A and B are shown apart, each in its own frame.
Chain A
């Protein structure tokens, strides 16, 4: 089931085509990675999905209907990259306030807050102020305030920045839990290893346009360069070999397959030469490599341009 569909979304600012004709579809229960270099238009895109900006053109379809910020906002949880809380306000009170702003009733909110505070071991914080918390603690609190109202769609922009590995895992587990219970998660980050680990589906945005869309698995297949790692004592390299040797370190060699050759051809060739093989596997490109490959060559930062629209 499709939870969110963007159709030809456009948003132009005075000097930037922040989002220039982006369409995408997100299925319910997916963990969706929204990737892109700085200034690619991710935040603008997210702000349109959360009803903060109106698109100049295009439609947002949320849960089968045209997105209506006033009524649908309560079913979205958004943790922006530029986030924070009222420093001088008590934590319990503040969480309650934010939950009520999302449309929860007081008693319902109280119940949920207690559950989460017990789960995250934050109960003793209730009467403390945010300024008393460490960065990691306030990050946890921020996550709780984002998902407290059980949103159908959760948007997390760099959710792990400033968290130690233990707390990162805690939040990661909760993200999986949310997805299992039917929430959809849009996850925006620059940390590709996290995307590889968590996301099902990714979209790469650059200069306001979508340049890549697919599941993590398919994307990696699509960008593979037929590179294999061979564990053997001595990997021969002559003109007859069905591969080019790239490098050898110890007993490990990296080779690139020649055009039209299959992995089996390599094994045949090596076995025929009595090479003893103890490992053979394909090296798929990391998302990091793909990201850099796609974004490289375009200027590192966006240039200002005159927009006539």
Chain B
């Protein structure tokens, strides 16, 4: 036992003290935020401001109305021109327009105008076309209102009287499905990343011991199983440390923004975050997250350790041998998206009970509410099976590891590795 502690300590300290750990701990949230904001920014930037010429033969659209709308929304500029369609077709480019719309003469305000074409010399995105469409629609609505004799009061009644349907779970009304699926996605993906990144760290660590030829020195002092377990636990603690640092990071940022009372967007965001957190069961989700994170980590890390012990220096060997295991993790993510769309469906239920996918799939379901969406027995069964599953995979991997770590030479096949395990 004391020896395992020594191994854990070494594995943990050598990793936490590395520059790459500190950098990745800081950089990951920044990259994550950068990705989100960057995408939003690029998306915004990507929409070009369209300059569109309008030939109105119907007489419904006049310069004043178009100008007013241009001022209200400047994402596209509509300009009324007085030319024939043919000549505009030839010269719109030189006049500085991106495209043009011809509104035909025969238009009935009761029927609307369908399939107007926004002609341009290149393919415009649906998004930019819909902006133009929205603008014309506003003008068109006003026209209808005037023609129908609707005053502001009637118009408001028309706009506000609607029926909305919202899914509500009678067992657990706080489980808002919008918030729940967001948390589910985040938790599922976080576990996915941690499994892949730290799982391969375990594999690399084992390979390092083999290529440095220190494995035999160490196993003459401790049992191979102790060495493997110490490594897995040590690296698991590193992952946990990183996770807690991120939580602390979020907590600090949150408190600073609250304290400084920053007006504007940030407070709004904080406010909505507060509201969100009030609506879900944080302690339960956090507990389950750590449980499934550790369970899943033990399950996969031990398999990765077994693979690392079986291969030699060659990274390609390791990749080809670990491919099936990595596929299981990726497959779990596919199951997760199904589970979030239908958290009580058969895929979700079975996916969250079978050990190999349960860490990711169950974590995506839990935010929808326990016991509302996930009955206690399902949660209990899933946890028990995961514990059983990782004990089995650690045991199995221990057997493969014991033989593999002292083997040099040819890369074994999966069949041979199974033989080592059950010999």
Contacts and interface: CB of A to CB of B under 8 A. Distances in A.
Nearest to B14: A89
Interface in A5-63: 47, 50-52
Nearest to B408: A82
B254 to A, nearest CB: 37
A298 B99 CA distance: 91
Contact of B217 (A47, A69, A78, A88): A78
Contacts of A162: none
Interface stretch (B48-56, B143-151, B219-227): B219-227
B235 to A, nearest CB: 15
A84 interface: yes
B6 A80 contact: no
B3 A101 contact: yes
A84 B219 CA distance: 13
B63 interface: no
Given A52-B406, A82-B408, A88-B14, A98 B221 contact: yes
B3 to A, nearest CB: 6
A132 to B, nearest CB: 14
A69 B214 CA distance: 19
Interface string B205-229: 0001100111011111111000000
B216 A52 contact: yes
Nearest to B221: A101
Nearest to A46: B220
Nearest to B405: A52
A101 B6 contact: yes
A52 B213 contact: no
Contact of B220 (A70, A73, A100, A142): A73
A80 B216 contact: yes
A304 interface: no
Given A97-B10, A101-B3, A85 B222 contact: no
Contact of A86 (B3, B212, B220): B212
Contacts of B221: 73-74, 98, 101-102
A76 B217 contact: no
Nearest to A157: B216
Interface in A66-83: 69-70, 73-74, 76, 78-80, 82-83
Contacts of B222: 101
B212 A78 contact: no
A205 B217 CA distance: 23
A128 interface: no
B214 A86 contact: yes
Given A52-B406, A97-B10, A101-B3, A84 B220 contact: no
A80 B209 CA distance: 14
Given A82-B408, A83-B216, A85-B214, A100 B6 contact: yes
Q: Which of B14, B209, B213, B214 has the most A CB atoms < 10 Å from its CB?
A: B214
The listed residue with most A CB atoms (<10 A of its CB), out of B3, B208, B217, is B217
Interface string A259-300: 000000000000000000000000000000000000000000
Contacts of A142: 217
Contacts of B220: 50-52, 73, 76, 78, 80
Query: Which DSSP category, helix, strand, loop or mixed, fits chain B's interface?
Result: helix
A73 B217 CA distance: 12
A51 B225 CA distance: 13
Contacts of A86: 208-209, 212, 214
A46 B10 CA distance: 28
B168 to A, nearest CB: 56
A74 B221 CA distance: 7
A87 interface: yes
Contacts of B213: 80, 82-84
Interface in B191-248: 208-209, 212-214, 216-223
Interface string B345-383: 000000000000000000000000000000000000000
Interface in B56-76: none
A85 B406 CA distance: 15
Q: Most chain-A Cβ atoms within 10 A of its Cβ — which of B10, B209, B221, B408?
A: B221
Contacts of B218: 98, 101
Nearest to B218: A101
Given A82-B408, A84-B212, A88-B14, A97 B6 contact: yes
Contact of B214 (A70, A76, A84): A84
A122 B360 CA distance: 51
Interface string B240-277: 00000000000000000000000000000000000000
Contacts of A103: 3
Given A52-B406, A97-B10, A85 B219 contact: no
Nearest to B214: A84
Interface in B1-45: 3, 6-7, 10, 14
Nearest to A85: B214
B14 A84 contact: no
A73 B226 CA distance: 14
A74 B218 CA distance: 12
Contacts of A51: 220
Interface string B142-164: 00000000000000000000000
B414 to A, nearest CB: 17
Contact of A98 (B208, B216, B217, B223): B217
A161 B218 CA distance: 20
A84 B216 CA distance: 9
A79 B220 CA distance: 9
Contacts of A102: 221
Contacts of B208: 86
A82 B3 CA distance: 23
B405 to A, nearest CB: 10
A85 to B, nearest CB: 6
B406 A84 contact: no
A207 B289 CA distance: 56
Given A69-B223, A85-B212, A142-B217, 18 more contacts: A51-B220, A52-B406, A70-B223, A73-B220, A73-B221, A74-B221, A80-B213, A80-B216, A80-B217, A85-B217, A87-B212, A88-B14, A97-B10, A98-B217, A101-B6, A101-B218, A101-B221, A101-B222
Query: Nearest 6 pairs between A and B by C-beta?
Result: A84-B213, A78-B220, A101-B221, A80-B216, A84-B212, A50-B220
8 contacts: A52-B216, A79-B217, A80-B217, A82-B408, A85-B217, A86-B214, A101-B7, A101-B221
